[in-house]
Amino acid sequence: MTDASLIEVALDETRDKMRRAVEHARSELAAFRTGRATPALVEKLKVDYFGSEVPLQQLAGFTVSDARTLVVNPYDKGAMKAIEKAIQTSDLGVNPSNDGQVIRLVFPQLNEERRKELVKLVRHRAEEGRVAVRAVRRATRHELEGFEHDGDITADDLDRAEKELEHLTHELVGEVDRLLAQKERELLEV
C-alpha cells in the first residue's frame, strides 16, 4: 500500500466513525422533550415484552394528533399494559391514557425551571458527542503516528494527515455545536 492510500483509508474510516458519533448525538438530542409531541421521545423506550427488553418502536406505530398529543398504536393489543408501564416509569413526566385500542400521551407545556434543567442535560449530551469525536481523532492520530514510526509514511505525510484530521474534527464538533444551539432554541422557545 502506498503512503497516500494508507492515510486515505485511515481518514476515511475516521470520517465514518466521527459521523456516526455525530448521528448518535443527534438522536440523543432528539429524545429531549421540547413541549411538542414527537415519536422520537418514546420510540427508544425499552418495554418488557414477554421477558425481554424491546424498543417501543418495534411494538407500536406512532401518530401526532396535535402539537402536544402523541398516539401510540400497539401492533399487539396484549402489549398495552407493558407499554403503559414503560411510559409511566420513564422520565417523560406524562401519564398515558389507554382506551383499549390506543395509548394517548398528552405532553404538558414546559415550565421555565424544567426548560433550564433540560438545557443543562442537552449541553451534557452534546459534550458527550464532542468527546466521542475527539476520541476518534485521538485513536486515528495514534494510528498515523504508528505508520510513521514503522516507516510506512514520512513525517511530512504525517503532518499533512494530522492537519486534515484536525480540520475534520473541527468540522464535526461544529456540527454537534449547531445541533446543540438548535435544540437549546427549541427548548427555550415559549
What pLDDT, on the 0 to 100 scale, is given for residue 2? 64
Yes or no: domain 39-106 corresponds to CATH 3.30.1360.40:
yes
Across 27-49, b (16+ Cβ under 10 Å) vs e yields ebbbebbbbebbbebbbebebeb
What pLDDT, on the 0 to 100 scale, is given for residue 130? 97
What pLDDT, on the 0 to 100 scale, is given for residue 3? 61
Residues of the chain where predicted confidence (pLDDT) is lower than 50? none
What pLDDT, on the 0 to 100 scale, is given for residue 29? 87
113-162 pLDDT, tens per residue?
878 888 898 999 999 999 999 999 999 999 999 999 998 899 999 999 99
The model's pTM is: 0.70
Residue-wise DSSP of 1-67: --HHHHHHHHHHHHHHHHHHHHHHHHHHHHTS--SS--GGGTTT-EEEETTEEEEGGGTEEEEEEET
Domain ranges of the chain: 3-31+111-188, 39-106
- The span from the CA of 39 to the CA of 63, in Å, is 7
CATH topology of domain 3-31+111-188: Topoisomerase I; Chain A, domain 4 (1.10.132)
H or E stretch at 73 = strand 69-74
Q: Ramachandran region of residue 51, left (φ > 0), alpha (ψ -120 to 50) or beta?
A: left
Show Cβ contacts of residue 23 under 8 Å, excluding neighbours closer than 6 positions. Answer: none
